[in-house]
Chain A
Amino acid sequence: MTQDLARRIRINALSMVARARASHIGSALSIADIVAVLYGDILRVDPRRPDWAERDRFILSKGHACVAVYAALAEQGFFPTEWLDTYGAVDSPLLNHVSHTVPGVEFSTGSLGHGLPFAAGKALALWTRGQTSRVFALLSDGELDEGSNWEALLFAAHHGLSNLTAIIDFNNLQSLDTVDNTLRLAPLADKFAAFGWAVREIDGHSHDALREALSAVPWDGKRPCMLVAHTVKGKGVSFMENKVEWHYRAPDAAQLEQALAEQGGGADA
């Protein structure tokens, strides 16, 4: 099921950025599987009641990858799929960084490094109220250059916010170059562990691995959870995979056709 959702997320995302001539398709394809498993199997949310008090909260901190989330929300019924066709139009409700005015979106981002502190605040408030809702935040790897994340990592661990799970989309590419050539994060899992989080590392395109890890949070019942998901930027479109240029470019008609053809129910999608 989630494989099909991921496939539809990729198809929608590609069509949206092609039509809008928008950037960041590589960033969206990188998280299509994570988002599909979250919305397909993990998050307790109700499309008819986006504000349902008992829902799980999902924060997309890497807001530039918004098309993946918009596509997932539309496919899950939070708003009509026709809205996706308006992406890039001046009066579209779907801005090019994830926007809280869209049903199902908790928080607007776009400036990197804002999602985790906000998610920690939500987790803290829910915990203070004794609510069982969980908070999931999806971050990029380049985003971890921002010190605000490390402030939040300290805080969440100190307060044992076990209702908070962060997922790192570790595709090892950022805006200009690889993470390794920009600001090295390795050994990333060790850093998080040293900060006091429960850490797991998985293949971020394996739905089974994602499901297994995310359905078992909190892993030790007392610490916040950090899922380091190894991914490929541009995943699922052969000529986009692991290429910095697809952080910026939008596919032309021929490229879109090829990219969509590669989604035809193949091994990954």
Chain B
Amino acid sequence: MRDAFIDELCRQAEQRSNVILIVGDLGYSVVEPFAARFPDRFFNAGVAEQNMLGLAAGMASEGCHVFAYSIANFPTFRCAEQFRNDVDYHQLAVTVVAVGGGLAYGNLGYSHHAVQDFGLMRLFPQTLIAAPGDPLEARACLRYLLDHPQPSYFRLGKAGEVAVHPEVPSVAPGQWLQVVAERGAASARLSTGTMLHRTLASHRERDTPLPEDLFTMPLWGAGCKDSQAAQLARYGCVETWEDHYLDGGFGSWLREAAALSGSPTRIRSRFLRPDQTLGHTA
């Protein structure tokens, strides 16, 4: 997925001269294609995430769309206030890109587990979260963000995620993107990010014969919480899947959306528990 992201970024940068990539001294064997093709639009800010985000905001204030790339918690928690004040408040076109969502870097330890990042990034009212489930969703999300420049958080898996969709889907904030449709389904599974693969696998292996629909939501955030009522109303039960803690996560976001709209749909959630990360590897 990382490679699809960089490939798409290169393609888009070909047409859009305002695309800038800043990395926080990370991205070995990923970002080189961009750096090679656009040497004057590629910067390594060094191991200095606060400055990286400030720089990104400053460049975006001059019309650039800046992608600030790092891994796990470094471009989010380490510089959360720079994102809050400089990027989100000023409504600037900065996309923070974090590789290694969830436990993708599991054996690197807790420092590299991005399991609270949704909780942080969905606090920002102007910010859109992109958590693609496969390389095609990654391309779709990237195109969407370039067409709708805004503060955004792009959560990538690592490498090796296979394509689920047959082609690049069209995506929109809060949209449920259908992966499996079964006739007469009264319940649905809804995943965000690379949990799509686990959801799909568990859907195929499930022992209940009841029909069930499967969706992924690659784009969501504070600004589209009020768009969920119609989708929720189609099902008696929805199960969310995410590689993130329950608190502040995607399932919590959907619960808030359901509660705000008075939806009677029952929501169950699959999520990571702290004991799966603290003191443990994946």
User: A residues engaging B (CB < 8 A)?
Assistant: 100, 106-111, 113-114, 116-126, 128-129, 147-148, 151-152, 154-155, 159
The 8 closest A-B CB pairs, nearest first, are A121-B58, A117-B54, A151-B51, A125-B62, A151-B48, A121-B55, A148-B50, A125-B59
How big is the B interface, by class?
20 to 34
A117 close to B90 (CB less than 8 A):
no
Q: Is the pair B89, A108 in contact by a Cβ cutoff of 8 Å? A: yes
B61 pairs with A122, CB closer than 8 A: yes
Contact A118 B86 (CB under 8 A): yes
Q: Quick check: is B57 within 8 A (CB to CB) of the other chain?
A: yes
CB distance from A170 to the nearest CB of B (A): 22
Query: Is the beta-carbon distance between B58 and A118 smaller than 8 angstroms?
Result: yes
Can you give 8 A-B contacts (C-beta < 8 A)?
A107-B61, A107-B86, A114-B85, A118-B61, A121-B59, A122-B62, A123-B58, A154-B48
B45, B56, B89: residue with the most chain A Cβ atoms closer than 10 Å: B45
Q: Which residue of B lies closest to A99 (CB)?
A: B89
Which of A107, A113, A116, A129 is B90 in contact with, Cβ under 8 Å? A107
Q: Which residue of B46, B53, B63 contacts A154 across the interface (Cβ within 8 Å)?
A: B46
Partner of A155, one of B40, B51, B53: B51
Point out the residue from A108, A110, A147, A155 that lies within 8 Å of B55, measured CB to CB.
A155
Which applies to chain A's interface (DSSP): helix, strand, loop or mixed?
helix
- Chain A residues with CB under 8 A of B194: none
Quote the shortest CB–CB distance from A125 to chain B (angstroms).
4
List of B residues within 8 angstroms of A116 by Cβ = 54
Do A119 and B58 form a contact, CB below 8 Å, given A108-B89, A111-B81, A125-B63?
yes
CB of A63, distance to nearest CB on chain B (Å): 10
Nearest chain A CB to B81 CB, angstrom units: 6
Q: A117-B57, A122-B61 are in contact. List 17 more A-B contacts (CB 8 A).
A: A106-B61, A107-B86, A107-B90, A108-B89, A108-B90, A109-B85, A116-B54, A118-B58, A121-B58, A122-B59, A125-B20, A148-B51, A148-B82, A152-B54, A154-B48, A154-B51, A155-B51
Chain A residue at smallest Cβ distance from B94: A121
CA distance A108 to B53 in the complex (A): 15
CB <8 Å contact, A155 and B45: yes
Chain A, residue nearest B49 (CB):
A151
Interface of B is mostly: helix
B41 within 8 Å of A by Cβ? Answer: yes
Residues of A within 8 A of B188 (CB): none
Interface centre among A106, A120, A125 (most CB of B within 10 A): A125
Question: A100-B90, A107-B90, A154-B46 are known contacts. Are A124 and B58 too (CB-CB below 8 A)?
Answer: yes
Q: Kindly identify which residue among A122, A123, A124 contacts B43, using a CB–CB cutoff of 8 Å.
A: A124
CA A125 – CA B57 in complex, angstroms? Answer: 10
Most chain B Cβ neighbours within 10 Å, of A113, A114, A126, A129: A114
- Whether B50 and A125, one on each chain, are in contact in the complex, defined by CB atoms closer than 8 angstroms, is no
Chain B residues near A117 (CB-CB < 8 A): 50-51, 53-55, 57-58, 82, 86
Min C-beta distance of B25 to chain A, whole Å: 12
Q: Are B62 and A129 in contact (CB under 8 A)?
A: yes
Interface presence of B258 (CB below 8 A): no
Query: Is B131's CB within 8 Å of the partner chain A?
Result: no
Please indicate the chain A residues that have their CB under 8 angstroms from the CB of B64 in the complex.
125
Give the residues in chain B near A111, CB-CB below 8 Å.
81, 85
Q: How far apart are the CA atoms of A106 and B62 in the complex, in Å? A: 11
* Least distance between A107 CB and chain B CB atoms (Å): 7
User: Whose C-beta in chain A lies nearest to the C-beta of B51?
Assistant: A151
CB distance from A221 to the nearest CB of B (A): 20
User: Which chain B residues border A113 with CB–CB below 8 Å?
Assistant: 50
Q: Which residues of A contact B90 (CB under 8 A)?
A: 100, 107-108
Residue in chain A with minimal CB distance to B57 = A118
- Given the complex of chains A and B, what is the CA–CA distance between A107 and B57 in angstroms? 10
Nearest chain A CB to B192's CB is how many angstroms away? 30
With a cutoff of 8 Å between Cβ atoms, the chain A residues found around residue B89 in the complex are 108
- Contact, CB under 8 Å: A121 / B56: yes
Q: Which of B40, B51, B60, B81 has the most CB of A within 10 A?
A: B51
Smallest Cβ distance from A8 to chain B, in angstroms? 29
Q: What's the least CB distance linking B91 to chain A, in Å?
A: 10
